[in-house]
Amino acid sequence: MKPNILLIFTDQQRADTIGALGNKIIRTPALDRLCREGTAFTSAYSPSPVCVPGRCSYHYGQYPFNTKCYDNGSPMPSDKPSFMDVLKDNGYLTYGIGKCHFTPDGKAMRGFTKRETQEEIVKSPKEDDYLKFLFNNGYSHIIDPHGMRGEMYYVPQPSQISAKYHPTQWIGDRSIEFLKSHAKSRNPWMLFSSFIHPHPPFSPPASWYKMYRAPQMPLPKVPENWQDLIVFINRFQNRYKYRDRGIDINLLRCMKAFYYSCISFIDFQIGRMLDELEKSGQIDNTLIIFTSDHGELLGDYNSFGKRSMHDSCARIPLIARYPERFRKNSRCRTPASLVDVFPTILESAGISSRTFNSDGTDLAKVQELKDRKIFSHFNNAGNGLYMSLDRKWKYFYSAPDDKEFLFDRINDPEETRNILPKNRKSAAEMRDSIICELCRSGEKESVDKNGWKKYPVRKMPEDPDAGLLIQDHPWAETCQVLISI
């Protein structure tokens, strides 16, 4: 009997935001349950620490240097099967609820039998199932349903929408409806439940935003030499997210409190899903995987957002529950990646993954390995950021800075010291491993004669307002016109 498959996906969730895995402040009873009943991969990383390429690698089981999807503006491949395609071809109903962030066509199916959409920025409310639901329930005046972006991207803000109609609740409600309606299905199903939170703006509903208070929150990780530990893309990102004109400690603590609230509200929905699976007798015949596309700096290194190879951003939560293949209450420290989800799903469904050129390894096999190398790749050429990692070392290179980093993951897990100058042999081994993968993929813009191809070093413009970003729904621009009139 083929198992059902429930994939629970969040956006921009750090790996250190689960109670059972060491966070003593956050309350995540549903995720704690998954940790008790399954295997938590505590050294899991994103193939690219930004939304679209990370998700692309997840769906297609390949690193960005093979998908050629390098940044949020890159198109996803059209010549490869997603795991949804493969499952559908093998008799599965493949159903998607929530954020997919497909490019270039946000409405594409990419192997789903059916989708119910909820995306951050859409051309028209008529294109988004959640917005249609919201407007039909009396919220047509809301023009920032996921919180105000741009100027308030990193300003914590209570949601303008009640908990009952909040985007996180909608994902939970629609997922529960699917599980109920397919409880006695003769054919196996795959449900992809994808939450936009805790992606900023951090806007939980009342009264969830009072679940944590700023004075409770630990301060960000800011080593004395923090400026030596960040790269151009972090400075650039701090600028356009309005976060490079001074640090307000109390704002940072409130930011983390709201971020935790968003995660706890998601956890509440996950608990409802698990209860429904148990109630209908499906839970032990369902492969459940929980993960996220990347993390969030959240003030670490006085930086914000994604697009970093530091653990705050590149490391992700990853939990698998399926008693037939994963041990209960187990912690696996072997490096894992989102590219591993593709073969894990297929092998669990009794489908050989060998013919699909996946860069990943079945997570059931990863839990038996002592060590392995994994990779991450953001952007390309003169803007590229490249990482190679195993249990001992993390190496990454930033092309815009022409700078290399090496961190000792065992003796400096907080990544406070770049020890490359004193460990050039280990750095060379890690460097060679990622360059070898790039060469094998035919990537010519990044490497030159077995080394990094050199590009002009980039610097921030002197004008402190240069690069500030405003992000609105295109359909909301008419509201701005009315206000100006």
Residue 208 located in a structural domain? yes
| Spatial distance between the Cα atoms of 261 and 212, rounded to a whole number of angstroms | 7
Is-contact 95 88, C-beta < 8 A?
Answer: no
**Which CATH number do you get for residue 124?**
3.40.720.10
Is-contact 28 16, C-beta < 8 A?
Answer: no
Position 450 confidence tier, pLDDT thresholds 50, 70, 90 = confident
pLDDT at 182 over 90: yes
Strand, coil or helix: what is 217? coil
Residue 42 located in a structural domain? yes
Beta bridge partners of 377: 386
Average pLDDT of the residues in 87-109: 97
Range of 107's domain?
A: 4-370+460-484
pLDDT tens, position by position, 371-406: 999 999 999 999 999 999 999 999 999 999 999 999
pLDDT at 483 over 60: no
How confident is the model at residue 484, as a pLDDT? 41
pLDDT tens, position by position, 19-59: 999 999 999 999 999 999 999 999 999 999 999 999 999 99
Residue 153 located in a structural domain? yes
What is the count of structural domains for the chain? Answer: 1
Is-contact 472 201, C-beta < 8 A?
Answer: no
pLDDT tens, position by position, 250-295: 999 999 999 999 999 999 999 999 999 999 999 999 999 999 999 9
CA separation, residue 58 to residues 116, 188, 321, 420, 433 (Å): 19, 21, 18, 31, 21
Question: Could you tell me what percent of the chain has a pLDDT over 90?
Answer: 90
Residue 102 located in a structural domain? yes
How confident is the model at residue 4, as a pLDDT? 98
Q: How many CB atoms lie within 10 A of CB 64?
A: 30
Q: Mark residue 299 as left, alpha or beta (left: phi above 0; alpha: psi -120 to 50; beta: remaining).
A: left
Query: Strands, E, within 218-360: which ranges?
Result: 286-292, 315-316, 318-321, 330-332, 336-337
Position 478 confidence tier, pLDDT thresholds 50, 70, 90 = low
Pairing of strands 286-292, 4-10: parallel
DSSP string, 235-249: HHHHHHTT--S---H
Residue 142 located in a structural domain? yes
Average pLDDT of the residues in 192-203: 97
Position 466 confidence tier, pLDDT thresholds 50, 70, 90 = confident
Residue 217 located in a structural domain? yes
pLDDT at 329 over 80: yes
How confident is the model at residue 114, as a pLDDT? 98
Residue 421 located in a structural domain? no
Residue carrying the six token digits 């529960």: 176
Q: What angle do CA 346, 309, 314 make, to 5 degrees?
A: 40
Of the candidates 340, 297, 341, the one whose C-alpha atom is nearest the C-alpha of residue 315 is 297
How confident is the model at residue 401, as a pLDDT? 97
Residue 409 located in a structural domain? no
